A and B are shown apart, each in its own frame.
Chain A
Amino acid sequence: MNERSEPVGEGHMSDDHAHLSLAVAEADGDARWAFGTGFTDPLHGVDTAVPPTVQAPALAAYCLALGDDALVSAQRLGEWCTRAPELEEEVALANIGLDLLGQARLLYTRAGQAEGGGRSEDDLAYFRDPSEFRNVRLAELPNGDFAFSVARLLVLSAWRLAVFERLAGCPDPVLAAIAAKGVKELTYHRQYAADWVVRLGDGTEESHRRMQQGLDEVAPHLGELLTGETAFGTGAAPVADELTAVLRQVADAAGLTLPQTAPLPGSGRDGDHTEHLAPLLAELQSVARAHPGAVW
């Protein structure tokens, strides 16, 4: 029973307005909230033909690897929620994760189109097993110390920025557009990570020690990024040069040493993973697998 006694005025008009909005939304009949992602096809309405000059299987594999790096990184960044040293950092890490999740969705959708087998972004994110993921192992390692997490974010965002800068001119127009958009976001991510590495490296004795340790832990994983596949104009050597220059610039400003470490054998790009990927994916995929096709 409605016991509100105030006169029907502006409040009532906004109620009507709200109902109108809901009715309008329902009339669309779109399943807009598949697993909370908002919409089912992030490339909806984009011209998605693969140009004849582009090898579709190579494009699919490359988009998948870049998408996997982004999805796994987004999951790790999201784990900082409620655990970061300050609220602002929690918001920052979650924001960066959200950008990467958006990139993953576009890249998976493009991979599915290039494969031509009808797999959607959700199929690729939620219904592949760990051995089918092609992310670098650096992305899947547990968050560890905050210093390790920012060292990893610096490496991954600087590498990805160097790759995306080049992909913005690649012959596939969709991947080129995803990359051009990503460059702007990744510039912010790299800046955030670099500022933290400098602040901790050039801070107290304790923060310096832990920041150096973070860099030391990241170092064996650089090889996997730098010797990985080259495709669509992203030559390995120029990307490696750019990444190394950025890391040296940051380490110099922070008073840290860039360790020269032998790369770990194997590669996530070939499906080699640590024991940490399976539990990460089990959590990420649990709702989608428990309720296949569910929408809300």
Chain B
Amino acid sequence: MPADQRHDHDLALARARRVAAEVTDPELPMLTLADLGVLRGVEMGPDGTVTATLTPTYTGCPAMAEMRADTAGRLRAAGFANVAIRTVLDPPWTTDWITDAGRRKLAEHGIAPPGPAPRRTPGPVLLDLAPTRRAVSCPRCGSADTEETSRFAATSCRALWRCRACLEPFEQFKEI
């Protein structure tokens, strides 16, 4: 590729990456798919085809179709005629993929960010029946005196918590 074409290609790719990075999550609109770690990459072929790679958070996450359509739609609206969306399952998404900016935005919107994702050790996944204390701070008042009320909430990715200091309920992005 001649130098001037290479330059145009690089500029277009950088623009495609910026456009894709601004697409927001349909269920957590304060986060972009890039913040969430769902956008794995954007590449551009020699013919100008833009390929965005996404990975699902939960297998049954109904927002995945919206994410795919939104990403493709935004890229087309930005003038990229040929857009392909690739889905990858491997390596599986974990909450560790959420960026620092994403964690800050979650906390600012009253959702406690996830702690470190559980590590998969060799052999069977152990079942812990002892009461567990996990350090989750209240996103409103900052108190660490909190308790989980349900590990399942309005979307797959969130858990319900309650703050014993300010008495407010809040949601947590649960570790997976």
A residues near B (Cβ < 8 Å) are 20-21, 24-25, 27-28, 30, 32, 37-39, 42-46, 88, 91-92, 95-96, 98-103, 105-106, 158, 161-162, 165, 173-174, 176-178, 180-185, 187-188, 190-192, 194-195, 198, 242, 245-246, 249-250, 253
A–B pairs, 29, beta carbons within 8 Å: A28-B73, A30-B69, A32-B66, A32-B69, A44-B87, A45-B85, A46-B88, A98-B62, A98-B156, A99-B156, A100-B60, A102-B60, A102-B61, A103-B59, A105-B59, A106-B59, A106-B89, A165-B125, A174-B89, A177-B92, A178-B59, A180-B90, A181-B56, A183-B120, A185-B58, A185-B59, A188-B176, A195-B129, A242-B124
Q: Return chain B residues, CB-CB under 8 Å to A178.
A: 59, 89
Q: Give the interface segment out of B6-14, B98-106, B133-141, B146-154.
A: B146-154
State whether the Cβ of B17 lies closer than 8 Å to any Cβ in chain A: no
Interface residues on B, range: 35 or more
Pair A39/B77 contact, Cβ less than 8 Å: no
New A-B pairs, 4, CB < 8 Å, besides A28-B76, A198-B129: A102-B56, A177-B92, A180-B91, A191-B151
Looking across the interface, which residue of chain A has its beta carbon closest to that of B51? A45
Q: Kindly state the separation between the CA atoms of A195 and B92 in the bound complex, as whole angstroms.
A: 26
Q: Return chain A residues, CB-CB under 8 Å to B84.
A: 45
User: Which residues of chain B in 60-75 are interfacial with respect to chain A, using CB atoms and an 8 Å cutoff?
Assistant: 60-62, 64-66, 68-70, 72-74
State whether the Cβ of B160 lies closer than 8 Å to any Cβ in chain A: yes
Pair B74/A101 contact, Cβ less than 8 Å: no
Pair A102/B90 contact, Cβ less than 8 Å: no
- Minimum CB–CB distance from A136 to chain B (whole Å) comes to 20
Partner of B127, one of A102, A183, A191: A191
Partner of B150, one of A25, A43, A92: A92
Partner of A176, one of B87, B90, B127: B90
- Minimum CB–CB distance from A223 to chain B (whole Å) comes to 21
Q: Kindly state the separation between the CA atoms of A190 and B118 in the bound complex, as whole angstroms.
A: 15
Q: Return chain B residues, CB-CB under 8 Å to A183.
A: 120, 125
Top 3 A-B pairs, shortest CB-CB distance: A102-B60, A102-B59, A24-B73
Partner of B64, one of A20, A28, A38, A245: A38
Q: Are A184 and B69 CB-contacts (below 8 A) given A45-B85, A253-B129?
A: no
State whether the Cβ of B86 lies closer than 8 Å to any Cβ in chain A: yes
B residues near A (Cβ < 8 Å) are 56, 58-62, 64-66, 68-70, 72-74, 76-77, 84-94, 118, 120, 124-125, 127-129, 149-154, 156, 160, 176
Pair B129/A98 contact, Cβ less than 8 Å: no
Q: Kindly state the separation between the CA atoms of A25 and B68 in the bound complex, as whole angstroms.
A: 10
Q: Kindly state the separation between the CA atoms of A195 and B152 in the bound complex, as whole angstroms.
A: 14
Q: Kindly state the separation between the CA atoms of A25 and B84 in the bound complex, as whole angstroms.
A: 15
Pair A184/B92 contact, Cβ less than 8 Å: yes
Pair A184/B176 contact, Cβ less than 8 Å: yes
Q: Are A88 and B85 CB-contacts (below 8 A) given A25-B73, A32-B69, A190-B127?
A: no
Q: Return chain A residues, CB-CB under 8 Å to B124.
A: 162, 165, 242, 245
Most chain-B Cβ atoms within 10 A of its Cβ — which of A181, A183, A242?
A181
Pair A45/B90 contact, Cβ less than 8 Å: no
Q: Kindly state the separation between the CA atoms of A21 and B127 in the bound complex, as whole angstroms.
A: 44
Q: Are A99 and B74 CB-contacts (below 8 A) given A46-B89, A187-B125, A188-B151?
A: no
Q: Return chain B residues, CB-CB under 8 Å to A20.
A: 77
Q: Return chain A residues, CB-CB under 8 Å to B77.
A: 20, 24, 27
- Minimum CB–CB distance from B89 to chain A (whole Å) comes to 4
Q: Return chain B residues, CB-CB under 8 Å to A194.
A: 127, 129
- Minimum CB–CB distance from B110 to chain A (whole Å) comes to 18
Q: Return chain A residues, CB-CB under 8 Å to B64.
A: 38-39, 42
- Minimum CB–CB distance from A195 to chain B (whole Å) comes to 7
Looking across the interface, which residue of chain A has its beta carbon closest to that of B77? A24
Q: Return chain B residues, CB-CB under 8 Å to A180.
A: 89-92
Pair B154/A101 contact, Cβ less than 8 Å: no
Pair B151/A192 contact, Cβ less than 8 Å: yes
- Minimum CB–CB distance from A179 to chain B (whole Å) comes to 10
Q: Are A246 and B59 CB-contacts (below 8 A) given A38-B64, A38-B65, A188-B151?
A: no
- Minimum CB–CB distance from B20 to chain A (whole Å) comes to 14
Partner of B129, one of A38, A158, A250: A250
Q: Return chain A residues, CB-CB under 8 Å to B94.
A: 184
Q: Kindly state the separation between the CA atoms of A226 and B56 in the bound complex, as whole angstroms.
A: 31
